[in-house]
Amino acid sequence: MSVLVVGSTALDSIKTPKSENPRLLGGSASHAAVAASFFSPVKLVGVVGDDFPKRYVQLYKRHRIDLTGLQVVPGRTFHWSGEYEANMNNRRTLLTELGVFETFSPALPKSHRDAPFVLLANIAPSLQHHVLDQMEKPRFVAADTMDLWLNIALPDLLKLLKRLDAFVLNDSEAHQLTQEDNVFAALKKIHKLGPRFVIIKKGSHGSILSGPGGFFICPAYPLHKVVDPTGAGDSFVGGLMGYLATARGPIQTHVRRAMIYGSVVASFCCEGFGLLRTTRVSRKQIDQRVKELERLTRF
Ligand code: AMP
């Protein structure tokens, strides 16, 4: 089954203490779409300007991502720039140039409206609503967010939570949303806001699911070196949704394994700048890491 992914399609300029990489392919939807494409057909919805490099279009195509919903309009592509500290965890946003994103209104082609799995990757909650309004009857809808929307669009986000099956956010965002320091208390509060499945991401410490089947503690794959964690969260949720879309039967039966697959794709994302590593990974390499995680967590 196919996964519809909407979110930002960006050019990312990423600085680390060791290197500087301008205008890489980035954006929440790009990371999520590539991650999901290892498992399922993906339909990407986003916008880029006429400066968007052709080689990035080819990259999407190599992953068999359906680009019918990607608008190309006159103007500049959304450009984001961030700088990491030496610990590779703390990140500072240096620049956000909205470009064509400023006037973006996602219009879904007819062929996209019956997609059974919908991933609302990080983008303004009003646009996430707008996409959902155009969908026929999706089987499973998940959304991601960021601190910016908690700060400037909380009412829209709260309304969105009531329309979701799953909500994925990181631990600092969960704290900001609930004022809870305890992650399990935060999960309980977020369920009350709407979603049946809530996943809190904890970076290199993995993630925690709370759902109808109870909790699941999902490990991160142990990496000895992180090159660039940009997009790891998007890769996690993209991999998770891509895997879920291949599984038959109730979501609850497969969601734990789906998180492990998401976690593994995210680990590859961290091993290269932007999408450089993820786009060179094979399904076999993903399966190998999943096996390793199974071995590491068996007791
Ligand atoms: P993450 O590392 O999971 O926080 O995701 C980083 C990605 O988010 C980058 O590829 C950026 O292009 C994208 N991004 C940064 N700021 C925004 C924003 N305001 N809206 C949507 N996407 C953004």
If one counts every other C-beta atom within 10 angstroms of the C-beta of residue 163, the result is 16
Q: Which atom of ligand 1 is nearest to the CA of 10?
A: 12
Indicate which residue's Cα is closest to atom 15 of ligand 1. Answer: 80
Q: What local confidence, expressed as pLDDT, does residue 158 receive?
A: 98
Contact 231, 274 (CB under 8 A): yes
The Cα 54–Cα 49 span in angstroms is 11
Instruction: Please tell me the residue having the least CA distance from ligand 1 atom 12.
Output: 27
Residue 174: predicted pLDDT: 98
Nearest CA to ligand 1 atom 9: 27
Give 253 Cα–ligand 1 centroid separation in angstroms.
Answer: 31
Please give the structure tokens belonging to residue 286: 């993903």
Rounded Cα distance, 49 and 99, in Å: 8
Smallest CA separation from ligand 1 atom 16, residue: 80
Q: What would the 3-class secondary structure string for the chain be?
A: CCEEEECCCEEEEEECCCCEEEEEEECHHHHHHHHHHCCCCEEEEEEEECCCCHHHHHHHHHCCEEEEEEEEECCCCCEEEEEECCCCCCEEEEEEECHHHHHCCCCCCHHHCCCCEEEECCCCHHHHHHHHHHCCCCCEEEEECCHHHHHHCHHHHHHHHCCCCEEEEEHHHHHHHHCCCCHHHHHHHHHHCCCCEEEEECHHHCEEEEECCEEEEECCCCCCCCCCCCCHHHHHHHHHHHHHCCCCCCHHHHHHHHHHHHHHHHHHHHCCCCCCCHHHCCHHHHHHHHHHHHHHHCC
What is the pLDDT at residue 140? 98
pLDDT score, position 28: 98
Give bridge partners of residue 44 from the DSSP assignment.
5
Q: Residue 89 has what pLDDT?
A: 86
- Distance of CA 88 to CAs 171, 179, 270, Å? 17, 26, 10
Instruction: Report d(CA 57, CA 197) in Å as an integer.
Output: 33
Main-chain dihedrals φ then ψ at residue 83, nearest 5 degrees: -130, 130
Find out whether 35 and 234 touch, Cβ atoms under 8 Å.
yes
In angstroms, what is the span from residue 135 Cα to ligand 1's centroid? 24
The closest residue, in CA terms, to atom 10 on ligand 1 is 27
248: tokens are 């038959």
Cα separations in angstroms, 42 against 45, 51, 95:
10, 24, 29
Pairing of strands 20-26, 117-120: unpaired
Residues in contact with ligand 1 by the CB-under-6-Å rule are: 8, 10, 12, 26-28, 80, 96, 122-123, 148, 230-234
What average pLDDT values come out for the chain (299 residues) when binned by 10 residues? Answer: 97 95 98 98 98 98 98 98 93 96 95 97 97 97 97 98 98 98 98 98 97 97 96 98 95 97 98 98 98 97
**Token digits for 98?**
């909205």
Residue 293 near residue 260, CB atoms below 8 Å: yes
The closest alpha carbon to 170, from 150, 193, 156, belongs to 150
CA of 27 from ligand 1 middle (Å) equals: 5
Q: What is the best residue among 12, 21, 25, 28 to mutate for testing ligand 1's pocket, by most ligand atoms within 8 Å of CB?
A: 28
